[in-house]
Amino acid sequence: MRRTVIAGNWKMNMTPKATRAFITELAPMVAGLDKCDIVLCVPYVDIATAVEAAAGTNIHIGAENVHFEKSGAFTGEISAEMLTEIGTEYVVIGHSERRTYFGETDATVNLRTKAALAAGLKVILCLGEVKEERLSGITNEIVAMQTKLDLAGISAEELKNVIIAYEPVWAIGTGLTATPEQADETCGVIRSVIAELYGAAAAEEITIQYGGSMNDANAAELLSKPNVDGGLIGGASLKTDKFTTIVKAAN
């Protein structure tokens, strides 16, 4: 049975001090809610503090990006080994904000995914269509293409450490949410592409999250859909009560 994963993406929010306070408050609120995996993906400088604060709890810590080279002249970048050495378990790759503002492409998403998996990180691989693509009726083609390009050369064994986050770009941080039916349908399309690439068993096993203005009010309905195995949550992951409500909905 595939796992439901509720992951927060803090983006460029929270200092180390705020991180410690947040996790200290959140831990007892989500204790024992073990029917889903709980992950907080946090800014690089918060990771060490987050790992320390989350020790002994059911909260796992992730980064928001990773570079694809092991080391070298890449000023400002962070390698997979740097992340694992400080206790990072997950990493978000290919978030639409990286694709839109920082020139991320399917080719670099693929390289980053390979490097992260080789280092033992679990990858939350983000993909999704922009508004014009949805309005043009080409969402299925777009997510199929992204899935194929982003996973090119990744083995079935490696895929076991990949979670796909379907995030329609028009729904991220906008307050616009895909309907539960749209989320279910597109996550289903991604699952069928996984079946095509890796077989039916792998498609059944892979966790596919929905992300895009998921919050405490709409999570239960989105998560009730058969192809939606969790959520990647931005804004609502910055409040312990809202995030806990989403974790409870997943449970």
Q: Specify the amino acid at residue 152.
A: A
Cα 180 to Cα 163: distance, rounded to the nearest angstrom: 19
CB-based closest residue to ligand PEP = 234
Q: Which is nearer to ligand PEP, 177 or 203 (CB)?
A: 177
In sequence order, the 6+-apart residues with CB closer than 8 A to the CB of 6 are 36, 37, 38, 39, 230, 231, 233, 243, 246, 247, 250
Dihedral (CA of 137, 232, 151, 80) sign: positive
Cα 64 to Cα 176: distance, rounded to the nearest angstrom: 23
Dihedral (CA of 89, 93, 95, 100) sign: positive
Cα 41 to Cα 21: distance, rounded to the nearest angstrom: 16
Q: Which is nearer to ligand PEP, 79 or 209 (CB)?
A: 209
Active site (annotated) includes residue 95: yes
| Least distance to ligand PEP, CB of residue 119, Å | 22
Q: How far is CA 12 from CA 42, 213, 233, in A?
A: 8, 17, 14
SS3 4: strand
Do 54 and 60 contact (CB within 8 A), yes or no? yes
Q: Which is nearer to ligand PEP, 9 or 110 (CB)?
A: 9
Q: Which is nearer to ligand PEP, 134 or 203 (CB)?
A: 134
Tell me, rounded to whole angstroms, the distance of Cα 237 from its chain centroid.
12
| Least distance to ligand PEP, CB of residue 168, Å | 9
Joined together, the tokens standing for residue 122 give 């679990």
| Least distance to ligand PEP, CB of residue 170, Å | 10
| Least distance to ligand PEP, CB of residue 7, Å | 9
The active-site residue, picked from 67, 95, 97, 129, is 95
| Least distance to ligand PEP, CB of residue 245, Å | 14
Q: Which is nearer to ligand PEP, 109 or 203 (CB)?
A: 109
Positions that interact with ligand PEP (CB under 6 A) = 9, 11, 95, 167, 172-173, 211-214, 232-236
Catalytic residues: 95, 167
